[in-house]
Structure 1
Amino acid sequence: MTCVVLVGVVTGCSSAEPIVESPAPVVREEPSPTPTPTPTPTEPVKPERPADMDRTDEVGAAAAATYFLELAPYVMATGDLAEWDLMTWAETCGFCTGIKDQANEARAMGDSFTGAEVTLSQIEPGQLDDLIGGIPVLVTYEQEPLLRRSLTGEVVSEQPAGSGRLQVDTVSTEDGWKILAVSTVE
């Protein structure tokens, strides 16, 4: 008896006996595993501290002012005050303590902040002030709206987008750059 079988199907036989075909093998494909989505961060990423902050000149002052202003939205959103506190001269900087107070109050109430991302340009360090050893830095900024939400998602407060010019008064200390004041410039 000569039979040719290809993939479980009889294609030709030379026998008089009936041939019972076996069913084709059933191949079950296991569903491919669904990839687990990578969680996206819900909080902003902390800005990277610029290497120029290690300098004690005008370049270092400009880097410190830029970093500090970029740090503000991160502080508001996360309540992470470690770098903020290291750079704040709390005795003279009302802007600095105001941001800290708002971040702490929101955390205590379970509220959260979103927005307030800032874009900086025209960063211009001034001359060293011989009296205090500080360097003023002029900065043009654009800031997105800031929303404060309760635990239930209700908007508690909001600040519109803003733009303008700031003066950031900096001083280099043995502990690194400190921000003495942040004020608006007309």
Structure 2
Amino acid sequence: MGLQGVFARVRGRGFVVGVLLVGLLAGCSSGAPVVEPSLPVVSQAPSPVPSPSPTGPVKPERPADMERTDEVGAAAAAVYFLELYPYVKGTADLEEWQVISFPEGCEFCTNLADSATEIARAEQTFMGGEVVAQASKVYPLDTLYGAFPLDVKVDQAKLSIVAKDGTVVSAEPATSVVLRVVVAHDGTAWRLMDVGEGNAS
């Protein structure tokens, strides 16, 4: 599963939203000192125990600016939502994703949830695909929807989906795209309305 283009249209004050985003990504040792007979016993400091390395995608940290309800908060939310993509895809952890998804009409939200569930059900592994996102433009608040449209530059690392037996089901090279992200604050938190093709200029 690679580059996906699934488009939805929100009718109203002229903005079109949709979906365009490519489908991340352990032990310790110790030994007791050997004491030779009739020799002085020398205490030996134990070897440091290494921390286990992550075995899957790491959930991004939620930015403090998401507490704001203005353009700054909108930009922080849009970036965070996109950077959640590989985590959700790689873990099928939908708890937060379902909370942030706009309850009606967010095809991007539904597509990601369905795709992550399908990968997990097939016992496949989503590898790579790390996302670095940066809001390049925040448009004025659309008062009809109470939403901020934004253009967000997204750099995504190469990715692959691997079957249980190690077979590569699909693979994609690294990509860079500009996406139109629409977020709205419902009075409690930011919600993702949808994602589509952005303005690269």
TM interval, short-chain normalised? 0.7 to 0.9
What is the CA–CA distance in structure 1 between the aligned matches of 2:181 and 2:108, rounded to whole Å?
10
Figure out how many residues of one structure are paired with residues of the other and give that number.
163
Listed as ranges, the gaps of 5+ residues in structure 2 are 1-36
What is the CA–CA distance in structure 2 between the aligned matches of 1:60 and 1:69, rounded to whole Å?
14
Is the 1:90–1:96 contact (alpha carbons within 8 Å) kept by the matching residues of 2?
A: no
What is the CA–CA distance in structure 2 between the aligned matches of 1:134 and 1:25, rounded to whole Å?
80
**In the TM superposition, what whole-angstrom CA distance separates every residue of 1:87-124 from its partner, at most 9, and x where no partner exists?**
11253222221111111001111111011111223432
Shift of 1:30: 8.1
**Structure 1: 4+ residue segments shifted above 3 A:** 24-37
Q: How does 1:50-65 map to 2 (within 5 A)?
A: 50-65=63-78
What is the CA–CA distance in structure 2 between the aligned matches of 1:123 and 1:140, rounded to whole Å?
6
What is the CA–CA distance in structure 1 between the aligned matches of 2:173 and 2:195, rounded to whole Å?
19
Of 101, 108, 117, the match for 2:121: 108
Of 173, 181, 201, the match for 1:160: 173
User: In structure 2, what is the equivalent of residue 77 of structure 1?
Assistant: 90
Cα 1:53–1:27 shift into 2, 3 Å: same
What is the CA–CA distance in structure 2 between the aligned matches of 1:180 and 1:25, rounded to whole Å?
76
Structure 2 counterpart of 1:91, one-letter code: E
Matched, 1:42 2:49: no
Is the 1:121–1:139 contact (alpha carbons within 8 Å) kept by the matching residues of 2?
A: yes
Q: Secondary structure at the match of 2:143?
A: coil
Matched, 1:142 2:155: yes
Is the 1:150–1:156 contact (alpha carbons within 8 Å) kept by the matching residues of 2?
A: yes
Shift of 1:26: 3.6
Is the 1:90–1:97 contact (alpha carbons within 8 Å) kept by the matching residues of 2?
A: no
Higher relative contact order (CA 8 A, sep 6+): 2
Matched, 1:183 2:196: yes
Greater shift in the superposed pair: 155-164 or 99-108: 155-164
User: In structure 1, what is the equivalent of residue 25 of structure 2?
Assistant: none
Cα 1:57–1:156 shift into 2, 3 Å: same
Q: TM-score, normalised by structure 1?
A: 0.79
Shift of 1:44: 2.0
Matched, 1:120 2:133: yes
Shift of 1:27: 4.3
Is the 2:78–2:135 contact (alpha carbons within 8 Å) kept by the matching residues of 1?
A: no
What is the CA–CA distance in structure 1 between the aligned matches of 2:123 and 2:50, rounded to whole Å?
27
Q: Secondary structure at the match of 2:53?
A: coil
Q: TM-score, normalised by structure 2?
A: 0.73
